[in-house]
């Protein structure tokens, strides 16, 4: 190792959940190091399903990640290098193969990553590689926020108002894209090309190739050239497509994911009754069509319909095909893809500040309104930093209010506090690493969950008979996003009314959300189940009928995702089973055929939940 030529050695920047160039402390330092020492920077991404195990990304997140990496690769002028496998083995092999002097990365706070990264750090330091780790994804460092008694906070308001805002530590101000970063970039491909053109003259001291690398690790072939089988030896993946993040098979839309999801959530043995599957098939057909993405063509969509099983109404399916172009789902999918990545994230923020923020506090409760930012997947994948969002939002308001005496803005304050909730989730995850899988309150240990698999399936597919719940679940499936108000409504319905373990909800969200985030998802589910860090009242049970009436008063959101109810008068839209037969017939609805009756009675299930929850010992 000591014989390495340090002038020519490489600096690795390891991208993880920080897929951007601007406001990036870790990347900036790596570029500085490379420029100051005339070294090359090798940007890498490792898909480490091996260490992630049960926390491997869900289908929707993988889809998003594919496009996000593509966008980052473009910003890096094609120099992003992909790897797949155990990150420790890959990094150690890279260090053995190439002359690497430093590896920098940004902290990712999932417990499995923290543990893995500690081991990686120790292994690389042993190899005399300089390691530097940065915070680039949170406004405040979770380890530093403690109460007066030096304990982690368990309740949001004191955490945010006292622990964060009154700590005297302002969030770091955003920084620009590192200057001249392009000059430093290199890639595995160019290193191979370079070594091939240098050889055999300079062999074995090929530039950037570790002279100590041996035949046995098959990096350098017998004629001294770099082995083309780098994929097998160091987990190198030559192209983004070969990371296989998109759904495989003949289709690239969501419909086909059901099979793998069911395995993932241990439900593969659940059988549906004939009646249930006949209810579900039109929905499946509709979903398959609605999600046809840019890469899948119309013929594929038609093939899928041809395969929809014989219980489905073929005529309906054909009508849906005819409507694909009309409904412009394809265009919508393309628009979605165009938003992924750093540039898209900044546009989404700008748009929100222009039209959403001014009525955020009240408007954020109404799922049909454009008052929420939809920044969550961008923040999760680090396409934009929370610091950038925080300061840009503040400056947009102070520009509007310049000259006014009172600069306080309740919408801005509320929006910032939601970013604070994100910080709080990470605070909980950091201090209570069992958050993703164990109820934080011990009294929930032997909770008598009912876990009815048929009801779970009806919930997952938006067939509960409660229109607002079904609209939320279908929004999730069709768009990879669900509005926060709906996450609370459907979560409460699952955990309280159906008495299904919150971990089933967690898994379904994990699979279907673009923004699936270990901290936010775990904290959100524990909060809604009332088993989390704060001692939430067990009577926090959302009534789906009242919630629908209040937050979707004209039914626009329900009609968007449950179109079979479009013609139902508003009086019955939240309770279709109460509509007289004549009204139903006129609206084209046949209960249990075109739309299901409720799978559970809301009042008695609420009382049952209250009883069970209040019987838990303190
Ligand atoms: C059961 C349940 C599961 C959830 N799972 C996730 C998840 O996997 N990933 C995820 O990012 N959020 C999750 N949330 C939190 C919240 O619903 C989403 O962050 C929010 O709906 C994202 O939409 P937005 O970007 O338009 O939010 P905005 O209202 O525009 O808020 C701005 C940002 O603040 C953060 N934020 C807002 N609300 C919360 C919250 N309650 N908790 C933590 N952070 C918040 C998000 O990063 C969000 O992008 C969950 C909530 C519940 C109740």
From 352, 427, 512, 524, the mutation candidate for ligand 1 (largest count of ligand atoms within 8 A of CB) is: 524
Q: Tell which atom from ligand 1 comes closest to the C-alpha of 527.
A: 53
Q: Given this model, what pLDDT does residue 34 score?
A: 97
Q: Given this model, what pLDDT does residue 401 score?
A: 72
Q: Given this model, what pLDDT does residue 214 score?
A: 46
- Mean pLDDT is lowest, of 220-229, 361-370, 502-511, for 220-229
Residues 590 and 448 in one domain: yes
Q: Given this model, what pLDDT does residue 191 score?
A: 86
Query: What is the 8 CA–ligand 1 centroid distance (Å)?
Result: 45
Q: Is 509 in the pocket of ligand 1 (CB under 6 A)?
A: yes
Nearest of 280, 228, 605, 304 to residue 461 by alpha carbon? 280
Q: Is 191 in the pocket of ligand 1 (CB under 6 A)?
A: no
Q: Tell which atom from ligand 1 comes closest to the C-alpha of 513.
A: 8
Going by alpha carbons, the residue nearest to atom 23 of ligand 1 is 374
- Mean pLDDT is lowest, of 11-20, 25-34, 396-405, for 396-405
366 falls within a domain? no
Instruction: Please state the domain count of the chain.
Output: 3
Give SS3 for 488: helix
Query: What is the 227 CA–ligand 1 centroid distance (Å)?
Result: 46
Query: What is the 386 CA–ligand 1 centroid distance (Å)?
Result: 13
Q: Given this model, what pLDDT does residue 396 score?
A: 92
pLDDT over threshold 70, residue 255: no
Q: Given this model, what pLDDT does residue 136 score?
A: 96
From 55, 384, 520, the mutation candidate for ligand 1 (largest count of ligand atoms within 8 A of CB) is: 520
Q: Given this model, what pLDDT does residue 252 score?
A: 42
30 falls within a domain? yes
237 falls within a domain? no
* Residue 611 burial by Cβ neighbours in a 10 Å radius (0-12, 13-18, 19+): exposed
Going by alpha carbons, the residue nearest to atom 52 of ligand 1 is 524
Nearest of 206, 172, 211 to residue 192 by alpha carbon? 206
Q: Given this model, what pLDDT does residue 459 score?
A: 98
Nearest of 469, 451, 594, 488 to residue 544 by alpha carbon? 469
Query: What is the 485 CA–ligand 1 centroid distance (Å)?
Result: 10
Its domain, for residue 492, covers: 442-614
Q: Given this model, what pLDDT does residue 43 score?
A: 98
pLDDT tens by residue, 268-298:
222 223 332 333 333 333 343 333 333 333 3
Query: What is the 189 CA–ligand 1 centroid distance (Å)?
Result: 39
Q: Is 491 in the pocket of ligand 1 (CB under 6 A)?
A: yes
Please give the average per-residue pLDDT across 49-58, as a whole number: 95
Q: Is 184 in the pocket of ligand 1 (CB under 6 A)?
A: no
How many Å apart are CA 604 and CA 613, to the nearest integer?
14
How many Å apart are CA 296 and CA 330, to the nearest integer?
9
Residues 467 and 608 in one domain: yes
Query: What is the 259 CA–ligand 1 centroid distance (Å)?
Result: 27
Please provide the average confidence, as pLDDT, over all residues in the chain.
84
How many Å apart are CA 284 and CA 258, to the nearest integer?
10
Cα dist. 192→207, 229, 416 in Å? 10, 12, 47
Give SS3 for 209: strand
Listing DSSP states for 26-78 in one string gives HHHHHHHHHHHTT-EEEEEEEE-HHHHGGGSPPHHHHHHHHHHHHHHHHHTTT
Q: Is 516 in the pocket of ligand 1 (CB under 6 A)?
A: yes
pLDDT over threshold 90, residue 457: yes
- Mean pLDDT is lowest, of 5-9, 109-113, 143-147, 406-410, for 5-9
From 515, 518, 533, 536, the mutation candidate for ligand 1 (largest count of ligand atoms within 8 A of CB) is: 515
So which residues are the catalytic ones? 418, 421, 449, 484, 502, 525
380 falls within a domain? no
Q: Is 525 in the pocket of ligand 1 (CB under 6 A)?
A: yes
Measured in residues, the chain has a length of: 618
Residues 462 and 609 in one domain: yes
How many Å apart are CA 559 and CA 574, to the nearest integer?
11
pLDDT tens by residue, 531-585:
998 866 667 899 999 999 999 999 999 999 999 999 999 999 999 999 999 999 9
Asked whether the beta carbons of 588 and 607 are under 8 A apart, the reply is no
**Boundary of a domain, candidates 296, 320, 335:** 335
**Boundary of a domain, candidates 273, 302, 335:** 335
Q: Is 495 in the pocket of ligand 1 (CB under 6 A)?
A: no
- Mean pLDDT is lowest, of 182-186, 221-225, 318-322, 499-503, for 318-322
Query: What is the 246 CA–ligand 1 centroid distance (Å)?
Result: 24
Q: Is 383 in the pocket of ligand 1 (CB under 6 A)?
A: no
Q: Given this model, what pLDDT does residue 533 score?
A: 86
Q: Given this model, what pLDDT does residue 376 score?
A: 98
Q: Given this model, what pLDDT does residue 262 score?
A: 39
From 393, 484, 511, 517, the mutation candidate for ligand 1 (largest count of ligand atoms within 8 A of CB) is: 484
Q: Tell which atom from ligand 1 comes closest to the C-alpha of 482.
A: 21
195 falls within a domain? no
Higher-confidence residue of 423 and 318: namely: 423
Q: Given this model, what pLDDT does residue 216 score?
A: 39
Q: What are phi and psi of 531, to 5 degrees?
A: -110, 10
Going by alpha carbons, the residue nearest to atom 26 of ligand 1 is 374
User: Within its chain, how far is the Cα of 563 from the centroid?
Assistant: 27
**Boundary of a domain, candidates 319, 335, 351:** 335
Q: Domain holding 58: CATH number?
A: 3.40.50.620
% of the chain at pLDDT higher than 90: 71
601 falls within a domain? yes
Asked whether the beta carbons of 510 and 521 are under 8 A apart, the reply is yes
Q: Given this model, what pLDDT does residue 268 score?
A: 28
pLDDT over threshold 50, residue 513: yes
Cα dist. 261→223, 247, 255, 477 in Å? 47, 12, 11, 12
* Residue 492 burial by Cβ neighbours in a 10 Å radius (0-12, 13-18, 19+): buried
Q: Is 487 in the pocket of ligand 1 (CB under 6 A)?
A: yes
Please give the average per-residue pLDDT across 477-500, as a whole number: 97
Nearest of 101, 119, 110 to residue 13 by alpha carbon? 101
251 falls within a domain? no
Residues 455 and 594 in one domain: yes
Query: What is the 598 CA–ligand 1 centroid distance (Å)?
Result: 28
Q: Using CA atoms of 278, 283, 288, 293 in order, give the dihedral in degrees to the nearest 10.
A: 180
Give SS3 for 14: strand
pLDDT over threshold 70, residue 173: yes
Q: Domain holding 596: CATH number?
A: 1.10.579.10
Please give the average per-residue pLDDT across 97-120, as a whole number: 97
Query: What is the 220 CA–ligand 1 centroid distance (Å)?
Result: 48
From 344, 345, 358, 418, the mutation candidate for ligand 1 (largest count of ligand atoms within 8 A of CB) is: 418
pLDDT tens by residue, 361-405:
999 999 999 999 999 999 999 999 999 999 999 999 877 776 676
- Mean pLDDT is lowest, of 118-132, 154-168, 253-267, 484-498, for 253-267
Please give the average per-residue pLDDT across 290-307, as a whole number: 35
287 falls within a domain? yes
């Amino acid at each position: 190792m000591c014989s390495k030529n340090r002038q020519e050695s490489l600096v690795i920047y390891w991208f993880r959940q920080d897929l951007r160039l601007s406001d990036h402390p870790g990347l900036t330092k790596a570029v500085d190091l490379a420029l100051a020492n005339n070294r090359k920077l090798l940007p890498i991404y490792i898909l480490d399903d091996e260490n992630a195990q049960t926390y491997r990304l869900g289908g929707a997140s993988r889809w998003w990640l594919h496009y996000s990496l593509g966008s980052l690769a473009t910003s890096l002028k094609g120099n992003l290098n992909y790897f797949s496998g155990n990150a420790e083995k890959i990094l150690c092999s890279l260090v053995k193969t190439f002359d690497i002097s430093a590896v920098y990365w940004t902290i990712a706070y999932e417990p499995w990553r923290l543990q893995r990264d500690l081991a990686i750090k120790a292994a690389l330091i042993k190899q005399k590689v300089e390691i530097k780790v940065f915070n680039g994804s949170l406004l405040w460092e979770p380890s530093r926020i403690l109460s007066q008694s030096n304990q982690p906070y368990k309740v949001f308001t004191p955490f945010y108002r006292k622990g964060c805002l009154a700590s005297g530590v302002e969030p770091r101000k955003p920084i620009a894209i590192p200057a001249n970063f392009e000059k430093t970039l290199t890639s595995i491909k160019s290193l191979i090309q370079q070594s091939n053109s240098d050889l055999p003259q300079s062999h074995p001291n090929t530039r950037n190739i570790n002279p100590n690398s041996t035949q046995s690790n098959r990096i350098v072939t017998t004629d001294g050239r770099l082995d083309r089988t780098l994929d097998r030896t160091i987990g190198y993946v030559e192209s983004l497509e070969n990371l296989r993040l998109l759904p495989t098979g003949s289709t690239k839309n969501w419909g086909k994911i059901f099979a793998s999801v069911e395995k993932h959530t241990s439900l593969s043995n659940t059988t549906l009754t004939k009646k249930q599957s006949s209810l579900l098939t039109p929905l499946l057909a509709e979903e398959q069509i609605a999600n046809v993405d840019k890469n899948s063509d119309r013929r594929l969509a038609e093939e899928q319909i041809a395969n929809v099983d014989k219980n489905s109404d073929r005529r309906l399916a054909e009508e849906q095909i005819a409507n694909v172009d009309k409904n412009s789902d394809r265009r919508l999918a393309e628009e979605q893809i165009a938003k992924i990545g750093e540039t898209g994230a900044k546009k989404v923020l700008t748009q929100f500040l222009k039209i959403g923020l001014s009525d955020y506090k009240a408007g954020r409760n109404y799922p049909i309104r454009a008052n929420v930012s939809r920044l969550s997947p961008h923040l999760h994948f680090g396409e934009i930093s929370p610091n950038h969002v925080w300061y840009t939002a503040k400056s947009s308001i102070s520009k509007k209010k310049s000259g006014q005496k009172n600069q306080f803005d309740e919408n801005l304050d509320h929006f910032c506090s939601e970013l604070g909730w994100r910080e709080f989730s990470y605070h909980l995850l950091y201090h209570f690493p069992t958050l993703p899988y164990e109820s934080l309150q011990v009294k929930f240990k032997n909770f008598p969950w009912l876990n009815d698999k048929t009801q779970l399936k009806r919930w997952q597919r938006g067939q509960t008979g409660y229109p607002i719940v079904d609209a939320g679940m279908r929004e999730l499936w069709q768009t990879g996003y669900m509005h926060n108000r709906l996450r609370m409504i459907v979560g409460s319905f699952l955990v309280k009314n159906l008495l299904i373990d919150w971990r089933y909800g967690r898994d379904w969200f994990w699979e279907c959300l673009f923004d699936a985030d270990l901290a936010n998802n775990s904290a959100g589910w524990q909060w809604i189940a009332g088993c989390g860090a704060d001692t939430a009242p067990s009577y926090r049970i959302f009534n789906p009928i009242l919630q629908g009436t209040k937050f979707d008063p004209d039914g626009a959101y329900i009609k968007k995702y449950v179109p079979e109810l479009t013609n139902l008068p508003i009086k019955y839209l939240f309770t279709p089973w109460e509509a007289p037969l004549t009204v139903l017939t006129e609206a084209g609805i046949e209960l249990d055929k075109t739309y299901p009756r409720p799978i559970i009675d809301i009042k008695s299930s609420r009382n049952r939940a209250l009883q069970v929850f209040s019987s838990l010992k303190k």
